């Protein structure tokens, strides 16, 4: 428990370190979903299948992996804006808000086909 308390105190003393950790997590999550999406896309396009997955199952995985990719890209753009504001643009709180709105619009536009099929339009 003491180790957690030390980490918590260190992050409170230096908020830039917490911002860097958040950016690193967003970056690695984005890298994972990029790799996952393109591997599943290549399996779908190439017609490769293996024991538990048929081509139709891999195509469904690719369809849903795309939505995860777009969401993680929007999250990464927001975290990059927060990091940029923290490091380069001291006390400009409007910048992450603006990028948050723009990345939300990007995610909604990128998932338009998914949203459209969800509501049956």
Give the tens place of pLDDT for each residue, 29-88: 999 999 999 999 999 998 887 788 888 889 889 988 999 999 999 999 999 988 888 888
Of 72, 59, 83, the closest CA to residue 33 belongs to 72
Give the tens place of pLDDT for each residue, 17-31: 888 889 999 999 999
Tokens of 100: 């948050």
Give the tens place of pLDDT for each residue, 86-111: 888 877 778 888 888 999 998 989 88
Check: CB of residue 37 under 8 Å from CB of residue 58.
no
């Amino acid at each position: 428990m003491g180790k957690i308390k030390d980490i918590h105190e260190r992050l409170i003393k230096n908020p830039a370190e917490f911002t860097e950790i958040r950016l690193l997590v967003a970056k690695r999550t984005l890298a994972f979903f990029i790799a996952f999406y393109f591997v599943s896309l290549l399996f779908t396009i190439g017609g490769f299948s293996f024991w538990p997955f048929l081509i139709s199952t891999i195509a469904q995985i690719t369809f849903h992996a795309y939505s995860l990719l777009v969401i993680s890209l929007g999250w990464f753009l927001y975290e990059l804006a927060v990091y940029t504001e923290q490091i380069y643009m001291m006390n400009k709180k409007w910048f992450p808000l603006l990028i948050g709105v723009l990345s939300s619009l990007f995610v909604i536009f990128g998932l338009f086909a998914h949203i459209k099929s969800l509501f049956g339009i």
